Chains A and B, each alone.
Chain A
C-alpha cells in the first residue's frame, strides 16, 4: 500500500494506528482533509444564501412556485417531486459506490466493475436532471414586469384566483422590431436580444382585461405573495420598465436577483462536483477493468474516490433542504 513511504519502523505512531497515524493510508487522509475544506466552502455558500434570505425575509421567492416541473407532466403543478427523485437517484448511486468499495475489500474485480458502472450511470442521470432543472429555471414560465425601482410584479387573475402567464393575455401589436446590430448603426453599437413580447403588448393586454392584477414580491403574514387590487396594480404598473421572462444573473421573473444568483452558483458548483466525480469514477472504472488494482493487490483507490462521491451526495442533501424545502 505505502509504495513510497517508509513503514519498516516498529514504533507506534500517534493517533492509535500502530505504524500508520490514525490507521489510515496517506491518500485516504488527504482525501478526508480535502473533504473537510470543501465542506467549509459549501457551508460558506449556503450560509451566504441564508444571509441574503434573512436580509430579504419578507420578499424572498417561494421555492414551491419556482420548481414545480416534472418530466412528461406538462402543466401539472408538481412541486418538489422532481428534486426528491434526484435526491433519491444520488443516494442510490452512493449505495452502489459503497457496494463497489465493499466488493473491493473482497478483491472481487467483476463486482467492483459492475457497481462502479451503476454509480457512473446514476451520476450521469443526476447531472442530466440538473441540466433539465436549469433549463426550466432559465426559460421561466409565467413572465413578469420589472418596474422602475427594480421590483418584479407577477400577474394574477382575480377571477380564476391564480397566477396567469403573460403569454395568455398579451395582445400582439403585429409590429416587428428587428434587433439592432452593430453592422447597421452609425455608432457601431448593438443591443441585447429583444424580448419576444414587448412591454407595450403586455400593457395593452393588461388594460384590456379588467380581471387582471399583479402580485408583489412582498409576503403577507401567512407567507403568501401580496396580491394588489386592480387600482393599486395600475398605479404600480405605470412605472413599468421591461418584460422579464425566465432568469439570468441580472434579473429573474421569480423575484430577488440574488435568488437566481445563488441558485446558479450553488447548484452549479455542486453540479460541477458531480461532473468531476463522474469523470473520476470513469477513470477508476477503466483502471478496474484493466486490472490495475488487482495487480496492486488492493482496491484503495475505489475507496478514496468513493469518499469523494459520498461527499457530493452529502452536499446535495443540504442543498436540497436549504434551497427546496426550507
Chain B
C-alpha cells in the first residue's frame, strides 16, 4: 500500500480523494494554483504545494510542476482525479518513469481510450455492437459526402481525439455536412491538436447508459452495474442515476457482459467506464471508454456500497480485485444532480462570485460532495461544478422525494445555479416515469442564441 499520495486536482474531487486516503491511513499532498489558496481541499490534506499561476495550463496541467511537487514531498503515488491530467498517456508514462505509481489505467489503456476509432475497433473485436460509422478517419469533404450517402442521414461528425461531448457536430442532410465539415476540421485541430475526423450515424432519441468497470493487474475484470446519464445539455451530463429505469435484469446482464468484454479486450486496468447509447428499440451500441474516475461515480458507490476511490488505490497498489458482479448486493436507488454555477434562465451563462450565504442540505439519504463554504470566492479560471448532490433511498420514488427536499434546502446565494432547473425536472411526469431521451432537457430551456452571440 502507498504511504503518501499526491492529488493532482482541485475542487470537490480533490476532497473526495483526500477523504478516502485518510480512511486508508495514507498521507495526502494537496496541490493548488495561486487562485486556489483558500480552497477547501488544502485544509483537509496533510501537506500542500503551490504549482503555479491561476490558468490551468500553468498549474493543474503543468506536468513538470506536479511531478516536482511529488518528488519534493516524497509521495509514492499520484491520483489525477478527473479532467486535467487524468487521461494523459504521457503523464501516466512520466509518473512510471519517475518511479511514481499513477492511480489509474496504464499509458497504453489511456492511448487506446483517447483514440475513439481505435476504441471502437477494440469493441468490435470483442463482439460488442458499435454505432455504424466510417471505418477510419475521413479526410476530405468529398469522402464525407460519399460516406454519408451510403450510411444515410442524419450523421454526427466527431473528432477521433475528442471526448466528453466536445467537438461533435450533427448534420441533418448533405447541405449541412458541406457546411459543417470544414468547421469541424478546424475546431478539432484547435481543441485537440490533431484533426482526424470520423462520421457516425446519428441515433435519434437515444439514452446514455454506462457501466462502471474495475480491473486488477492480474486480468480480473468486473462491472458494478449501470448509470443512467441521459439527462444532458449539449452532451454535458446534468442528472445521473443508478440503476437505470430502462435496464431490466436481462439487459443489465447483456450490457454488463459487453462492458467486461471491452475492458478485457483492451487489457484494461483500474477503474473505467464503458459508455453505450441505447436506441428507442432497446438496441445498445458501444460509444467510448472513459479511462478515469467519473464525476457521477457516487451513484454507483451508494447502490453497491463500494468506495470506488479506495478500489482505485487498492488496485493501483497491485492488490487483486477479489470479487465479481455476482458477489455484489445491489440495493436501492441513487440519483445525482450536478449543481453548476450557471444560470439556466440565461442560456447556462456562467455565474462567478462570492458565496455570501451558504446552507448545505443534509439528513437521511443525502450525500453532498462539494468544496463550497460560506465566504468562498469562485475562481473564474475553472469549471462551474460547485457540488454533487446525491439522494439515496430504497426506491426511485423515494430518492426523488429526498432530492426535491434537499434541493429546496440548498442555498448558495447570490450565485445563480442549476438548482431551480432540477426542481422542475423532479416534478415532470415523463421524468418520474423514467421515460426520456438525451434531448429531454431542451423542453425546459428553450435554446437561445449561442453564448458566443451574446
Chain A bound to chain B: no
